[in-house]
Amino acid sequence: MNAVVQQALRQGGWRTSEPTLLAPESCHVLPSGHRMPLLGLGTRELNFHTVDTVCSALELGFRMLDTSPAYHTQRGIGDAIRACGFERNDIFVITKVDPQGDSYAAIHKNLTQLRLEYVDLALVHGVPRHDAGEMAWHALRRAKRDGLARDIGVDSFPIENVEELVYRTGEMPAVNQLEWSPFGHSPRMLDFCHDNGILILARSPLTRAQRLNDDKVSTMAARYGKTAAQLLIRWNLQHGVVPLPKANHVQHLRDNLNVFDFEIAQHDVVRLNALNQHFSVVDKLDYA
Ligand SMILES: NC(=O)c1ccc[n+]([C@@H]2O[C@H](COP(=O)([O-])OP(=O)(O)OC[C@H]3O[C@@H](n4cnc5c(N)ncnc54)[C@H](OP(=O)(O)O)[C@@H]3O)[C@@H](O)[C@H]2O)c1
């Protein structure tokens, strides 16, 4: 293994605060030493009632919000954080920058929309067309040095692109946000991220509801007295993956937090793993 990559590995890496305990107050500890909740709220398509929905989510117990300028939810999230009266330190905010263009300026623009002084996590949103992502990565590293982002990571990066980025820059991403569900995931990626201290954040963890009526999942969920959505969220948690389910409906928000009072037996985890067809809500998984 390349020496630069080896050094990055020694420096990076998340750890779980209480690895054996999956509880609402448990968290992951990122390379900066800051704590990340075990699950968060996705905010894509929450752009009609963003403030109300995000306030409801915070009041119910969500403490992490995943956004992007592409979702048009950043202003509403900033308003909701203020309206709900939470301390900034109590909320973990993730945003993203396009790998093309001036990514440092993009961080400033995101912060202006959010009306925050820093984000907890900033991601390079997608693999760039013309380089390994190092221009955007250098911008995020600068943002981190300047106190604008506490940790930095990537989004939708295949293994080879992560390796290339680390080879060129010497810094391992803290996280890789990927589409991730029993129907679409990658054991190879899970091993790679685990070995390299990269935390996987699961986007579209509920398959945008496209597979929530799957017979096997529904039957298994009923056996645990849970919904299909709760089973998929819990499956992520038990893999050490951070799910980011999005929900407009308050009952869905409530259900999605109610996943800490049961455990999927190992043989059922194996059965859920076996549902993998590299399914994607859009087409086929692009990283597996
Ligand atoms: N980085 C990227 O490029 C990227 C791409 C896609 C997504 N993401 C992130 O991942 C987040 C989640 O992904 P997603 O928005 O694509 O879809 P998702 O979270 O997989 O699914 C959302 C759908 O599931 C429904 N739902 C939520 N909770 C439910 C429950 N307990 N029971 C039944 N149905 C439930 C929602 O309904 P209601 O809304 O009606 O409640 C909505 O229709 C996004 O919001 C975004 O933050 C990132």
Q: Which of 227, 232, 231 is nearest to 207 (CA)?
A: 232
Looking at residue 28, its pLDDT comes to: 95
- Residue 86's CB is within 10 A of a number of other CB atoms, namely 15
Instruction: Write out pLDDT tens, residues 160-187.
Output: 999 999 999 999 999 999 999 999 999 9
Looking at residue 161, its pLDDT comes to: 95
Q: Is 71 a catalytic residue?
A: yes
Q: Is 70 exceeded by the pLDDT of residue 10?
A: no
Average pLDDT of the segment spanning 250-259: 98
Domain that holds residue 208: 3-273
The Å distance, Cα 206 to ligand 1 centre, comes to 6
Task: Name the residue with the closest Cα to ligand 1, atom 46.
Answer: 42
Looking at residue 246, its pLDDT comes to: 98
With respect to residue 187, please indicate whether it lies within any of the assigned structural domains.
Answer: yes
Looking at residue 51, its pLDDT comes to: 97
Please tell me the least confidently modeled range out of 8-12, 59-63, 131-135.
8-12
- Residue 249's CB is within 10 A of a number of other CB atoms, namely 10
Q: Is 70 exceeded by the pLDDT of residue 63?
A: yes
Q: For position 56, which CATH number holds?
A: 3.20.20.100
Tokens of 269: 């985890």
The Å distance, Cα 51 to ligand 1 centre, comes to 17
Q: Which of 277, 72, 80 is nearest to 186 (CA)?
A: 277
Q: In whole angstroms, what is the distance from residue 244 CA to residue 202 CA? A: 6
With respect to residue 286, please indicate whether it lies within any of the assigned structural domains.
Answer: no
Q: How many domains does the chain have?
A: 1
Q: What is the per-residue burial (b if ≥16 Cβ within 10 Å, else e) of 136-171?
A: bbebbbebbeeebbbbbbbbbbbbebbbbbbeebeb
With respect to residue 103, please indicate whether it lies within any of the assigned structural domains.
Answer: yes
Residue position matching structure tokens 């529904």: 218
Q: In whole angstroms, what is the distance from residue 68 CA to residue 239 CA? A: 25
Average pLDDT of the segment spanning 83-111: 95
Looking from the CA of residue 249, the nearest atom of ligand 1 is 41
Q: In whole angstroms, what is the distance from residue 205 CA to residue 34 CA? A: 24
Most informative mutation of 44, 217, 287 for ligand 1 (most atoms within 8 A of CB): 44
Looking at residue 21, its pLDDT comes to: 65
pTM: 0.94
With respect to residue 27, please indicate whether it lies within any of the assigned structural domains.
Answer: yes
Q: Is 90 exceeded by the pLDDT of residue 22?
A: no
With respect to residue 279, please indicate whether it lies within any of the assigned structural domains.
Answer: no
With respect to residue 253, please indicate whether it lies within any of the assigned structural domains.
Answer: yes
With respect to residue 281, please indicate whether it lies within any of the assigned structural domains.
Answer: no
Q: Is 90 exceeded by the pLDDT of residue 74?
A: yes
With respect to residue 278, please indicate whether it lies within any of the assigned structural domains.
Answer: no
List pocket residues of ligand 1, CB cut-off 6 Å: 42-44, 66, 155, 177, 203-209, 212, 227, 229, 244-249, 252, 255-256, 281
Q: Which of 176, 228, 175 is nearest to 206 (CA)?
A: 228
Looking at residue 16, its pLDDT comes to: 46
